[in-house]
A = this chain, B = another copy of it.
C-alpha cells in the first residue's frame, strides 16, 4: 500500500505548489473519492468539454496495451459530434484483465454518456495503477452523478491530484498565447512515470485548450510535438501498457480557427503548446522514482537524427551511467561505453564529451587540462547537462532523464500493493 511508504517529496520538485493556470473556456473538471483502491483520497476525475471540441491523442505502442487505451484509440479522430468527456481513475490500470476489462470500459462509458447527455463515442477513459486485477467499475459508475454536479472551470488542480499514484506532487503547466488580438489558453496536467508502488509506470497527460482546430490538424500537431517532449524523456526505459496523452481543443476562444500548420497563428499556438508539453514532460522526470538529479543529454554531430537519438537514449537508459549520476561521479568512461553500445555510427577518436561547460574528453582521450576535482564539483548540482559531440555530421537530439538511486530499487523491490 502506498500508505506504508515513507513520505518523500522529490528534491527536484518545483518549490511548493501547483502553478496558477489559465482557465480554458469550455472545460469543466471535478474529482471525487471513489475508493477504487486507495482510501482517503480522490481517485477519479471527470472533464466535460464543450460541444464541437476536437480530440487528439497519442497512446502507448505496447503490444499488451490496456482496454481503456484500445477504446481511446478507436474513438480518437471520430467527428466531433456533441460534447465530449474524459474520465480517469487511479489505483487500477484495467490492464491484462481479459473480457472483464472491456466490460468495465463500456459500463463507465455508458454511465458518463447517460449522465452528461453525450454520445458514448465521445467518452474517453484512462486508468492507471495495478495491473491484472479486475477494475471495480461500479465504484466509479455510482459516483458519476455526483461528479457531474461538481463540475467546475476551476477543477484542474484536484483533477491533477486524483490521477496521482506514487507521484510525490501534482503536475500542471499552462500558458496563454495571443492570436489576432484574442487569447488562446492552454492548460494541462500529468502523472508521472515513477515505477510506482501499485505496479508499473503509467504516464497520463491531459491538455486542454480553447483554440479552434480541426481534428486532423490538432492530431498532426500533437504527434509532431510528442517526439521532442514526452518521447524524449525516460526514467528507466520501461514502457507502460497505459500511456495516454490527450489534447482537447474546445474552440471556445474568440481567436479565429487555426486551419493550416503554416499560418502564423498555428506557429504561435504550436510554440505555446510545445512549451506546455515540455514543462509537463520535465516534471515527470523530476518526479521519477527516487530521482535526485535532473539530467539533460544533448547529442550533436551524429551522422543523422536517428543516430543522435540512439546515442542519447543509450546514455539516458544505461544503468551504469545513471548510477554514476547518483554517485555524483564524473565518470565519462561510462558515457563512452554507452555511445559504443548504442548501435549508432561513432568514431572513438572524433568523440567529445562535456559535463556542463567542462570539456572532459576529446580526440579519443581525456581532454588536455581536464581537472577531475572541477568536474566532481559540477556533478553535485541537482541539474546536470551532458553534451556529446560525435564529430560526424549534423544529427542532433536532446533527451531528459534522472539518476538511478537505491531508493528507486527499494521502491520497486519492496512495494507492490
Contacts and interface: CB of A to CB of B under 8 A. Distances in A.
Interface string A336-351: 1111111011111101
Interface stretch (A30-38, A93-101, A112-120, A169-177): A93-101
Which of A61, A64, A237, A241 counts the most chain B CB atoms within 10 A?
Answer: A64
A124 interface: no
A323 B366 contact: no
A18 interface: no
A319 B414 contact: no
Interface string A398-417: 00000011101110111110
Number of copies: 2
B131 A340 contact: no
B63 A348 contact: yes
B351 A64 contact: yes
Contact of A98 (B97, B342, B363): B363
Given A62-B341, A412-B327, A200 B333 contact: yes
A96 B362 CA distance: 10
A365 B97 contact: yes
Given A199-B333, A414-B327, A132 B365 contact: yes
Contacts of A79: none
Contact of A236 (B195, B319, B333, B342): B319
Contact of A337 (B239, B318, B319): B239
Contacts of A329: 413, 416
Contact of A336 (B95, B99, B363): B95
B348 A238 contact: no
A121 interface: no
A199 B366 CA distance: 15
Interface in A302-332: 318-320, 323-324, 326-327, 329, 331-332
A40 B365 CA distance: 29
A366 B327 CA distance: 40
Contacts of A366: 96, 132-133
A166 interface: no
A412 B64 contact: no
Contacts of A332: 132
Contacts of A342: 63
Contacts of A347: 63
A332 B60 CA distance: 19
A397 interface: no
Interface in A362-377: 363-366
Contact of A320 (B63, B195, B327, B405): B195
Contacts of A95: 333, 336
Nearest to A96: B336
Interface of A: 60-65, 95-100, 130-133, 195, 199-201, 236-241, 318-320, 323-324, 326-327, 329, 331-334, 336-342, 344-349, 351, 361, 363-366, 404-406, 408-410, 412-416
